[in-house]
Amino acid sequence: MVATRSFKLVLLLLCSLTFLLAESTPNQQKDTYNYDEYFVEKTILKNAVSKGADAVCLDGSPPAYYMDRGFEEGAQSWMIHLSGGGWCRDVRECQNRSTTSFGSSKHMPPFKFRGHFSNNKNANPDLFNWNKVMVAYCDGGAFTGDVETVDPATNLYFRGARIFSAVMEDLLSKGLKDAKNALLIGSSAGAYPAMLYCDRFSKLLPNTPRIKCLTDSGYFIDVNKNLQKGKGFETIYKALVTLHGSAKALPKSCTSRMKPELCFFPQNMQQYIKTPLYTIMSPFDIVQVGTSLGDYYNAIKQNNCSANQKKNLRELRMELLSKLPNASDTKSRGGFIDSQFHHTRLQNYWKPQNVSVVNNVTMIKAFGDWYFDRQYYYLIDKHDLPIP
């Protein structure tokens, strides 16, 4: 996303971690429901192709997801997580991606469930026994692509929006339609489609009493041009709209007012979402900093930022805070804004020993209380520089 090689390597690692794929394929049998982490096999949606919908990954293979059934009181509660993992913005990037788990279900090994997917009641008290689904991200366009024509020279398919529809249809038939609680989640590149499809997800479940959405580390903002030192997100989003045909998936309430690529910014479309939405984000998110300001990675990690870098980081923080959802109605818009220099929290940092804390409230408690209407948290950390 930025010019320097070091940041690109860091970003590649981070994007891979958002989809925590196993190096081996252990067949771990769950004789008790108390696992902090465990492996789940993929479910391939073969009917996504056979029904003629052609909801396929970049290479034309059918999409897939990973699912662990809920139990006891959580048997009718569902959380569906749209995985992240960056974007492919040109043919070369998408061709490279199509030979990996980020572009083909042929290359998807078992997935490690942990963090908010943990079955450990002590570590994950509100969600441990829910139906848990991780939707594999194999389209490279944030689940927004919808191009009918396939260029025979590349054999690439841009069908991310169709993948979302196919997965929802399949899950509805497997019990989602009878959910008592439902939660649509997205991390990193998956955060935007979790917002984009939030109201649509709600409409699919007319008899579900509680439906909410959660975005994790994907509330990327369009920063002031005087502050921007990196390539910026607008360039990325414009490439997505052009290559993946994403404009059709974007809300007309936004595209009627501005260019389609600007509607990829949550700041420009979150106000149209009627379903309750919770935002987990840091002003110093690694991807946001790198894409907007350039390569600050080593300086922040080593706590050695220059005076000018500190000035830019403070300005970036103020910009993000000004573009977050309005906190006046915390029942409809909750938030957990920490100051960690990180990217994505739900898989790696959703356990008591390393969870983020703001104003003496953990992220796990803040979100759980907000979701179940116990208390409506909108927490913002007061640090004006990143915590390495």
- Residues annotated as catalytic are 188, 285, 343
- Three-state DSSP at 77 gives strand
- Phi/psi-derived region of residue 215, left when phi > 0, alpha when psi is between -120 and 50, beta in every other case: beta
- SS3 breakdown of the chain: % helix, strand, coil, rounded to 5? 35, 15, 50
3-state secondary structure at position 279: strand
What's the rounded Cα separation, in Å, for the pair 195 and 197? 6
Amino acid at 1: M
Give all strands (DSSP E) within the chain, no chain letters: 38-40, 42-44, 64-68, 77-82, 111-113, 131-135, 181-187, 210-216, 277-281, 333-337, 357-358, 361-362, 378-380
Pairing mode of beta strands 38-40, 64-68: unpaired
**φ and ψ at residue 137, rounded to 5 degrees:** -100, 105
Please give the full DSSP string across 149-206, using - where no structure is assigned.
Answer: ---TTT-----HHHHHHHHHHHHHHTTGGG-SEEEEEEEGGGHHHHHHTHHHHHHT-T
DSSP letters for 33-65: S--S-EEE-EEE-THHHHTS-----TTSPPPEE
Task: Classify burial at 262, counting beta carbons within 10 Å of its beta carbon; exposed 0-12, middle 13-18, buried 19 or more.
Answer: buried
Q: Phi/psi zone of residue 359: left (φ > 0), alpha (ψ -120 to 50 degrees), beta?
A: left
